Amino acid sequence: MNLADSEEMFAQLAARGFGYTENLEEADVVLINTCTVRDHAEHRAVSFLGRLGTWKREKQGRRIIFAGCAAQRIGNQLKKQFPFLDILSGAKEIEHFGDTLEKSGFFPPSTPQGETLSPGLTGYVTIMRGCNFACTYCIVPTVRGPIKCLPHTAILEQGRAKANAGAKEIMLLGQTVNAYQDGAVSFADLLNKTSEIPGVERVRFTSPHPIYFTPQFLAAIKDNPKIARHVHLPAQSGSSKVLAEMKRGYTREILLEKIFALKEVGFQISTDLIVGFPTETEEDFNQTLTLVDQAGFSTAYCYKYSPRQGTVAAQMKLHPQNVLEQRLDILLNKVRGLAEAAYQAQVGTLQEVLMESADKGRSSGSFWVKTKQSHPVGSIVRAEIEKADGTLLFARNEL
């Protein structure tokens, strides 16, 4: 999501005559687009900003823009701490980034011609901003505000532009992406319409919320092979009690029901799990372990709970660090090998592979596949899978 936002902001700078560089010494402007979901990400952005003081002093006219979620949360405080910071643009302001540049007086007016960043094989398209949930550990609703769905016409237009620029895969983005609705156009409609854009071979999306996976959604996309059969579905906990305390909006039973329904139409499911939420007991933690057994995730990313200032859970009493570490270790041992097992299960199947290099690409279920022959980058190849080695599939033959 941040990559998509950065591209959008860069387009505004490009319309004012700027080109792209990652070389700090040749840059006239530094745009720091930040994340605040975890403390660590915010610290890194702020410490980078601090180091830019010297860079700015070295040459007259250099400008620093601090944007995104951390700018929304602590921007005013940073402006005082680092007076050399020129422009703040919080996460809620991204759509108006052009106006922000205009008002600053530091930039020339925009012109229609400007460099665009090549999307590569995957074109990221933001379809909604914000979130209507209020998970008790999460800072996102505070910094991004409630859901705002972008018009489907503008989204499809962006998809077409990315496809014309060479993208073969479109990734639709939103905080609870499958809650998308624009008048009569549902999320399933949008996925199907995106898949019909000439040149688009595959459509992915992230991040979904379990409750929006309805039978109607699955029926609407079931027969569309261009919709990738992999979804990253954050479960967070296997305990219905903890899920309620997190205010996730589903129980373990509902979550499993959704997972099984997704698997029924061929989805691979990866997930996020948090250990040591303040109210999590040993029994709750054991339920997360049994969820891993039952759900059959293709991968699980596991995190120790860490409080975010300004959230409800940050007021709760923390578990001691050793409890967090012990639980994380146990869970990591449990999930180790999930990916390898998921790869192994693909042996003997036929996979549609989108080639990302001459002899390697990704399947619809997001498995890496090494092909026997060379193929053009961006082409779709049907590959018979002969064997798996760790997290790589090897094709016997391509059709």
Residues at the interface with ligand SF4 (CB under 6 A): 131, 133-135, 138, 140-141, 175-176, 209
Residues 6+ apart with CB under 8 A from 212: 176, 178, 179, 187
Q: What is the closest distance, in whole angstroms, from the C-beta atom of residue 269 to ligand SF4 in the complex?
A: 17
Q: Which residue, 280 or 352, is less far from ligand SF4 as judged by CB?
A: 280
Q: Which residue, 312 or 345, is less far from ligand SF4 as judged by CB?
A: 312
User: Which residue type is seen at 99?
Assistant: D
- Residue pair 176/146 in contact (Cβ under 8 Å)? The answer is no
Q: Which residue, 210 or 361, is less far from ligand SF4 as judged by CB?
A: 210
Q: Which residue, 135 or 383, is less far from ligand SF4 as judged by CB?
A: 135
Q: Which residue, 175 or 178, is less far from ligand SF4 as judged by CB?
A: 175
Q: What is the closest distance, in whole angstroms, from the C-beta atom of residue 312 to ligand SF4 in the complex?
A: 11
Phi and psi at residue 111, in whole multiples of 5°? -125, 155
Q: What is the closest distance, in whole angstroms, from the C-beta atom of residue 130 to ligand SF4 in the complex?
A: 9
Q: What is the closest distance, in whole angstroms, from the C-beta atom of residue 204 to ligand SF4 in the complex?
A: 18
Q: Which residue, 135 or 295, is less far from ligand SF4 as judged by CB?
A: 135
Q: What is the closest distance, in whole angstroms, from the C-beta atom of residue 52 to ligand SF4 in the complex?
A: 29
Q: Which residue, 209 or 226, is less far from ligand SF4 as judged by CB?
A: 209
- Residue pair 186/180 in contact (Cβ under 8 Å)? The answer is yes
Q: What is the closest distance, in whole angstroms, from the C-beta atom of residue 20 to ligand SF4 in the complex?
A: 29
CA-closest candidate to residue 238, choices 178, 190, 283: 283
Q: Which residue, 78 or 243, is less far from ligand SF4 as judged by CB?
A: 243
Q: What is the closest distance, in whole angstroms, from the C-beta atom of residue 72 to ligand SF4 in the complex?
A: 14
Q: What is the closest distance, in whole angstroms, from the C-beta atom of residue 292 to ligand SF4 in the complex?
A: 20
